[in-house]
């Protein structure tokens, strides 16, 4: 299988001229202070269709022959490649069928259909959707657009590397997410050809570490599962071509936990006003949690996409605030008489704690007669504020129990 060259990436750049956004490369003062480096964010979440995937998808479809275009195109994707293929196919007036996992975020399914593609839901992860897409491709005769293991797709993704070097010629390290490997393979080819001293580091979710394990084992490793909130990189089988490129050009691969990814999504949202999906945050998560060595003083994190479901954002926010001590749920017995609840809420208010919700249960058979069980959902400034609240309530005679996020 032929490797992709710098010339291929440069041709892709020309083909994409006027089609894609040249996304910004922003210096983050917040993340730079936190890591004692200069941390730049390559904002592919601001790309058309909300992710970098349009680069490779459009470059591939542009390269098809008239006969291949006439048969239409088919692809398998967890969401972002789906939208890229659907958008590119719509521009070329081609019929497009996209197979997506049944658990794909609704926002990605709706967006893909919005570009005019037919969406087929199959399987629980990308690899299962991929197998169904192969079956449909044989039935329909459509041209398959692989999400990562294709030279034209890889070359299209590599245009990100050209943009980074143009905007930050003295960059010392680039961290990019890895699922199947197309993004980092393309970036590595472009960057290593022009600036071989720049370290290229991949980041994978620990629940889907196929390429990480493959690089360590020096052969392709297939994982039994790919379980992570970063659905865009939940891949069990790495690409053959991307594996070869990564072995040759990528300096290291690290893994991050889902909790670290979720915390980074929240920090991006709160500190930088940036919306990133799980796959889009994994590179920055690796930097913030010390997975990347400190020698990369000017380091770029590729924020590869921002197509995150709003329900997932809500869960991440609530869980993250609870971990930071800014959300707390309490339960306590209270004398069932007039004014008792008012007195409790007055203690809370005097400490400048905000009440989100109150549950007052006097009929539960587990609650003794004459008492009520009160549950409070509260907003505090931080863990110190929460501790001040608990100490005060205990001094006032309340038997307080802290509930976890499940209410236990």
Q: Provide the residue ranges of all domains of the chain, joining segments of one domain with +.
A: 6-41+154-319, 53-144, 326-403
Residues 355-383, mean pLDDT to the nearest whole number: 88
Query: Do 275 and 308 touch, CB atoms closer than 8 A?
Result: yes
At 295, the pLDDT band (50, 70, 90 cuts) reads: low
For 36, phi and psi rounded to 5 degrees?
A: 60, 35
Choosing among 1.10.8.50, 3.40.50.970, 3.90.79.10, 3.30.70.260, the CATH entry for 326-403 is: 3.30.70.260
Buried b (16+ CB within 10 A) or exposed e, 74-95: bbbbbbbbbbbbbbbbeeeebb
Query: Do 120 and 132 touch, CB atoms closer than 8 A?
Result: yes
Helix or strand run (H / E) with residue 382? none
Q: Give me the pLDDT at residue 403, please.
A: 87
Q: Give me the pLDDT at residue 310, please.
A: 86
Q: How many residues does the chain have?
A: 408
- Render pLDDT for 143-176 as a digit per residue (tens, 0 to 9): 999 999 999 999 999 999 999 999 999 999 999 9
CATH topology of domain 6-41+154-319: Rossmann fold (3.40.50)
Residues 124-153, mean pLDDT to the nearest whole number: 92
Residues with Cβ within 8 Å of 140's Cβ and at least 6 positions away in sequence, in order, are: 71, 72, 74, 97
Whether 211 has a pLDDT exceeding 80, the answer reads yes
- Per the model's pLDDT, the better-predicted residue between 365 and 201 turns out to be 201
List of E strands, 101-258? 118-121, 143-144, 173-177, 199-205, 252-256
Residues 36-49, mean pLDDT to the nearest whole number: 96
Q: Give me the pLDDT at residue 318, please.
A: 83
For 204, phi and psi rounded to 5 degrees?
A: -125, 155
Residues 132-151, mean pLDDT to the nearest whole number: 93
CA distances from 151 to 57, 60, 85, 241, 364 (A): 11, 8, 16, 8, 64
List of E strands, 159-216? 173-177, 199-205
What class does CATH assign to 53-144?
alpha beta
Taking Cα atoms as reference points, which of 104, 95, 108, 105 lies closest to residue 136? 95
Query: Per mean pLDDT, which range of 53-57, 58-62, 91-95, 243-247 is the poorest?
Result: 91-95
Q: Read off the DSSP letter of residue 399.
A: -
Taking Cα atoms as reference points, which of 293, 234, 289, 302 lies closest to residue 260? 289
Q: At what angle do helices 151-167 and 240-249 cross, to 10 degrees?
A: 30
Whether 183 has a pLDDT exceeding 60, the answer reads yes
Query: Do 189 and 4 touch, CB atoms closer than 8 A?
Result: yes
Burial of 228 (C-beta count, 10 Å sphere; 0-12/13-18/19+): buried
CA distances from 374 to 329, 340, 358, 367, 403 (A): 11, 11, 7, 10, 12
Q: Give me the pLDDT at residue 323, please.
A: 81
Buried b (16+ CB within 10 A) or exposed e, 333-365: bbebeeeebeebeeebeeeebeeeeeeeeeeee
Q: Residue 286, Cβ neighbours under 10 Å: how many? A: 26
- Per the model's pLDDT, the better-predicted residue between 248 and 365 turns out to be 248
Three-state DSSP class for residue 176: strand
Residues 358-387, mean pLDDT to the nearest whole number: 88
Whether 407 has a pLDDT exceeding 50, the answer reads no
Whether 320 has a pLDDT exceeding 90, the answer reads no
Q: Give me the pLDDT at residue 408, please.
A: 44
CA distance 195 to 243: 21
CA distance 110 to 389: 44
At 296, the pLDDT band (50, 70, 90 cuts) reads: low
């Amino acid at each position: 299988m032929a490797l992709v060259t710098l010339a291929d990436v440069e041709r892709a750049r020309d083909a994409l001229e006027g089609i894609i956004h040249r996304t910004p490369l922003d210096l983050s003062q917040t993340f730079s202070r936190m890591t004692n480096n200069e941390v730049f964010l390559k904002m592919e979440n601001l790309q058309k269709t909300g992710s970098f995937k349009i680069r490779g998808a459009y470059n591939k479809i542009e390269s098809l022959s008239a006969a291949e275009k006439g048969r239409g195109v088919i692809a398998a994707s967890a969401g972002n490649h789906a939208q890229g293929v659907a958008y590119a196919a719509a521009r070329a007036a081609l019929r497009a069928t996209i197979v997506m996992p049944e658990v794909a975020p609704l926002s990605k399914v709706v967006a893909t259909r919005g570009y005019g593609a037919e969406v087929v839901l199959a399987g629980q992860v990308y690899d299962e959707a991929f197998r169904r897409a192969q079956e449909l491709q044989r039935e329909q005769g459509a041209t398959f657009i692989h999400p990562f293991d294709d030279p034209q797709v890889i070359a299209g993704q590599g245009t990100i590397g050209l943009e980074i070097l143009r905007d930050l010629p003295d960059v010392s390290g680039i961290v990019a997410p890895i699922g199947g490997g197309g993004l980092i393979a393309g970036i590595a080819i472009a960057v290593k050809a022009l600036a071989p001293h720049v370290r290229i580091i991949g980041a994978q979710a620990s629940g889907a570490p196929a390429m990480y394990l493959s690089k360590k084992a020096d052969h392709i490793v297939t994982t039994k599962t790919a379980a992570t909130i970063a659905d865009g990189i939940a891949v069990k089988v790495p690409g053959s071509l991307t594996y070869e490129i990564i072995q040759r050009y990528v300096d290291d691969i690290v893994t991050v936990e889902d909790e670290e990814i979720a915390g980074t999504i929240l920090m991006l949202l709160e500190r930088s006003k940036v919306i990133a999906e799980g796959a889009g945050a994994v590179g920055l998560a690796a930097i913030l949690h010390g997975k990347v060595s400190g020698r990369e003083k000017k380091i770029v994190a590729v924020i590869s996409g921002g197509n995150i479901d709003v329900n997932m954002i809500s869960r991440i926010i609530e869980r993250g605030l609870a971990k930071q001590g800014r959300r707390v749920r309490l339960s306590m017995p209270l004398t069932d008489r007039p004014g008792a609840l008012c007195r409790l809420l007055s203690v809370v208010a005097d400490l400048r704690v905000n009440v989100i919700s109150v549950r007052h249960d006097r009929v539960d058979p587990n609650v003794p007669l004459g008492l009520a069980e009160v549950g409070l959902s509260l907003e505090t400034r931080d863990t110190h504020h929460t501790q001040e609240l608990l100490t005060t309530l205990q001094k006032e005679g309340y038997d307080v129990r802290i509930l976890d996020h499940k209410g236990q």
